[in-house]
C-alpha cells in the first residue's frame, strides 16, 4: 500500500504508536500507509474525493432480539444435523458453536442459546417417540387365524 493524499476539515494532529501526522484544514497532506486507517477513523478523507480505502462494506445487521436469533440458530442446527459433517460436531455429538454461528450468519452464539434449542429439539423428539409408542399400544393387533398358526408352525414337519 502506498502513501496517499488526505485532507482534514479542521486542524488536527494524529498521534499513534506508529507515528504522528499534523493536518492543516483543507490542505492535502501525504499520509503514511500505517496511519491511513487511524486518519479515516477520526474523519480525515482522501484528497481525491473518492470513498475511503478499506471501507467496510455494509452487511446485513445481526439481529439482537432473541426470537430472530433463536430462529436463525435453530435453522442452522437443523441444517448441520441434515448435512451431518463430522467437523461440525463436538465429541459429545452436539454442533460446535463456531459451526452454528457460521451457518446462522452471526458473529457469535452462546452455549446457552444452542443448549436451549437442543433441549427443545430433544424434548420434541422424545414426545413424538412417546406418542408413537402410545399409539402402537392402543392399536389392536390383528389376530392370526388357526389356519395361519398351523401352517407356519415348525411342528408340522414331523
Quick one: pLDDT at residue 138?
81
Quick one: pLDDT at residue 121? 93
Tell me what pLDDT residue 38 has: 87
Q: Quick one: pLDDT at residue 111? A: 94
pLDDT tens digits, residue range 76-98?
Answer: 999 999 999 999 999 988 999 99
Separation between Cα atoms, residue 70 and residue 113, nearest integer Å: 7
Question: Among the residues of the chain, which ranges form H helices?
Answer: 33-41, 66-83, 97-104, 111-138, 146-152
pLDDT at residue 145 is higher than 90: no
80 and 103 Cβ atoms separated by less than 8 Å:
yes
Q: Report the alpha-carbon angle 20-21-23, nearest 5.
A: 150
With a cut of 80, say whether residue 151 has pLDDT above it. Answer: no
Per the model's pLDDT, the better-predicted residue between 139 and 3 turns out to be 3
Same domain, 23 and 77: no
Q: Is the pTM higher than 0.85?
A: no
157 in a structural domain = no
Grid coordinates given for 2: 502506498
Q: Is residue 151 part of a domain?
A: no
Say yes or no: 41 and 99 in one domain. Answer: no
Please tell me whether residues 74 and 35 are part of one structural domain: no
Number of domains forming the structure of the chain: 2
**Do 25 and 75 fall within a single domain?**
no
What's residue 73's pLDDT? 94
Per-residue model confidence (pLDDT) at position 59: 57
Show the cell assigned to 8: 482534514
Q: Answer yes or no: is 158 within a domain.
A: no
Which range marks the domain in which residue 125 is found? Answer: 66-135
| 76 and 131, same domain (yes or no) | yes
Amino acid at each position: 500500500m502506498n502513501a496517499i493524499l488526505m485532507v482534514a476539515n479542521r486542524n488536527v494532529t494524529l498521534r499513534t504508536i506508529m507515528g504522528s501526522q499534523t493536518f492543516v484544514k483543507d490542505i492535502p497532506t501525504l499520509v503514511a500507509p500505517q496511519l491511513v486507517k487511524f486518519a479515516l477513523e477520526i474523519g480525515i478523507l482522501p484528497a481525491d474525493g473518492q470513498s475511503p480505502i478499506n471501507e467496510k462494506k455494509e452487511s446485513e445487521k445481526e439481529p439482537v432480539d432473541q426470537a430472530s436469533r433463536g430462529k436463525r440458530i435453530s435453522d442452522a442446527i437443523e441444517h448441520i444435523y441434515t448435512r451431518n459433517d463430522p467437523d461440525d460436531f463436538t465429541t459429545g455429538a452436539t454442533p460446535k458453536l463456531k459451526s452454528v454461528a457460521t451457518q446462522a450468519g452471526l458473529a457469535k452464539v452462546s452455549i446457552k442459546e444452542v443448549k436451549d434449542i437442543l433441549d427443545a429439539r430433544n424434548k420434541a423428539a422424545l414426545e413424538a417417540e412417546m406418542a408413537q409408542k402410545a399409539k402402537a399400544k392402543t392399536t389392536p393387533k390383528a389376530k392370526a387365524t388357526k389356519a395361519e398358526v398351523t401352517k407356519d408352525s415348525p411342528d408340522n414337519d414331523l
